[in-house]
Structure 1
Amino acid sequence: MSKKAVCILSGGMDSTLASYIAKNEGYDIIAVHFNYGQRTEKRELQAFRDICEDLEIKEKYEIDIPFFTQIGASALTDDKIDVPVDGVKPGVPITYVPFRNGIFLSIASAIAEKEEASAMFIGVVEEDSSGYPDCTDTFIDKMTQAINEGTKKNTHLEIKTPLVHMMKSDIVQKALELNVPLQHTWSCYKEQEEACGVCDSCRLRLNGFEQVNATDPIKYKGQ
């Protein structure tokens, strides 16, 4: 019997690499994507669909979570808050979406239980988190305990975070080694046509490519 994994797949470089790692580990992938009112929602959904096609994924879920825009409090979900473009600063960034990964993992757990999956993959990265409290080993360990406590006795879920201790340059290198279609991924927090190149996410991505002397295949403003 084949083993199944639910992959939380945003369409970004990290979650895409995590999904390719899952495939290489022999899992049948069930892909889950969340539309949560983020600024680049349409572009991320396109990336998700393209990557599912690349991976030949048959089982996929596109989940709408509208309440994040009601809460606001994040530059990703509240149009009144500008996405910062002046580099990473100490503390929790304004791009942090309250308990987003906790909510994503909870929903993905329900899908995993229904699909009888044994693992969930999430592309959290401590370097990338820049102070996000829901991207740490400690958080993932405690979520794993809570999820297994709150599901059926025959449900045994492992949350796999293959990138959590990688630097962005390591992620780029690994993605290139595995022939991940990086041209289909999207990381920009601000723009949907051409990546801005100046938000925290774009800066980290571009820096990762620069450190391994590789060229990012997506288009940036001003190129």
Structure 2
Amino acid sequence: MKQEINMRKKAVCIMSGGMDSTLSAYMMQDAGYEIIAVHFNYEQNTQKKELECFHNITKALDVTNKYVLNLDFFKQLGASALTDSSIDVPTGGVEEGVPVTYVPFRNGIFLSMAAAIAEKEGASVLSIGVVEEDSSGYPDCREEYINAMQKAINLGTKDETKIEIKMPLVHLKKSEIVQEALKRSVPLELTWSCYKNEQRACGVCDSCRLRLNGFKEAGVNDPIAYE
């Protein structure tokens, strides 16, 4: 019985170093879960900065159980402006259809690896900061898709393994995410969203635009530095 209670208390949180996944992890901690933090280095443009943010955020959360997983697969694959240097990160605003910053099946791969960690650690929850309504149009951020992954994960693990994928931000606007983060005293100054730069955020890539607009609509200033 004691082991079962402990399993319910653990949440594997996929944490990129960005605002959304950080808030999701704080929400899991506020709900009473012990956080197991997972970060992926996948040869993305801002890999060094995102890893730095991850370590700073997990320190603020007082998380000691951390996994940093290195993947060169996405660099070999290319096909995304985040991992292929021959494709420019767009800076002209919202694109039609799925943007070139989409990394093929990234969340599916991340969730699969996180599920293996959850099974090993005896965690009952996976947390991912996907946002459907105010996102960049990535197909692997849809609630329907995440629910399908949850079913697949539970079919492909031990009978006693029961994993729920929590996506607490999936229907929130960016401004609502900012407001919720401020309410919970999330250190947004430690987070990073820019697709291009690692020193000062560019302010013009799609991710920066979404972030800045969220802060504007929330009526507060973004604490990170921009060019």
User: TM-score, normalization: structure 2?
Assistant: 0.96
**Number of the residue aligned with 1:20:** 26
**Match among 153, 160, 172 for residue 154 of structure 1:** 160
- Would you say 1:111 and 2:117 are equivalent positions? yes
- Would you say 1:188 and 2:194 are equivalent positions? yes
What letter corresponds to residue 225 of structure 2 in structure 1? K
Q: Does the 8 A contact of 1:123 with 1:164 survive in 2?
A: yes
- Would you say 1:83 and 2:74 are equivalent positions? no
Q: Does the 8 A contact of 1:188 with 1:195 survive in 2?
A: yes
Q: Please show how residues 136-155 of structure 1 align to structure 2 within 5 Å.
A: 136-155=142-161
User: TM-score, normalization: structure 1?
Assistant: 0.98
**Match among 48, 52, 59 for residue 53 of structure 1:** 59
- 1:53 is paired with a residue whose SS is helix
Among the aligned pairs, what percent are the same residue? 63
Distance, in Å, in 2 between the alignment partners of 1:209 and 1:143 is 31
User: Alpha-carbon deviation of 1:128?
Assistant: 4.1
Structure 1 segments, 4+ long, off by >2 Å, are 127-130
Count of equivalent residues: 221
How far does the alpha carbon of each residue in 1:146-182 deviate from its partner, in whole angstroms, 9 at most, with x for none? 0000000010000000000000000000000000000
- 1:134 is paired with a residue whose SS is helix
**Number of the residue aligned with 1:200:** 206
Distance, in Å, in 1 between the alignment partners of 2:200 and 2:133 is 24
How far does the alpha carbon of each residue in 1:118-151 deviate from its partner, in whole angstroms, 9 at most, with x for none? 0000000013432211000110111000000000
In structure 2, runs of 5+ residues without a counterpart are none
Q: Does the 8 A contact of 2:134 with 2:172 survive in 1?
A: no
CA RMSD in angstroms comes to: 0.7
**Number of the residue aligned with 1:163:** 169
- 2:68 is paired with a residue whose SS is strand
